[in-house]
Amino acid sequence: MSATNFKLRKLSLVEYLLNIQDEDLFNAIATKIEDSLKNSPNEFTQQELIERAQISNLQIKEGKVISHSDLENQSLNW
């Protein structure tokens, strides 16, 4: 999906939410979104972030890195 298409879909969703008249429906959607955000794997504690940074620093010191161009080439196969 293109970035432009994704932006348009998000705007359409916002417009849809603005036009909802049924409070129960709105609450159900809001609850689903909130639950999804709570379970997001992108949320880390401060300690988890520190540990991840320490692991990354160790990998850099050990030379376990990949060049940007190699990463771009690999991502073509994802």
What total of structural domains would you count in the chain?
2
Query: Do residue 26 and residue 50 come from a single domain?
Result: no
Domain that holds residue 20: 1-42
Query: Do residue 2 and residue 26 come from a single domain?
Result: yes
Spell out the SS3 assignment of 4-47.
Answer: HHHHHHHHHHHHHHHHCCCHHHHHHHHHHHHHHHHCCCCCCCHH
Task: Give 40-66 pLDDT, tens digit per residue.
Answer: 666 778 898 999 999 999 999 999 998
Buried b (16+ CB within 10 A) or exposed e, 42-67: eeeeeeeeeeeeeeeeeeeeeeeeee
Query: Do residue 10 and residue 34 come from a single domain?
Result: yes
pTM of the model: 0.45
- Helix H or strand E segment including 56: helix 46-61
User: Residue 39: pLDDT above 80?
Assistant: no
The pLDDT of residue 45:
83
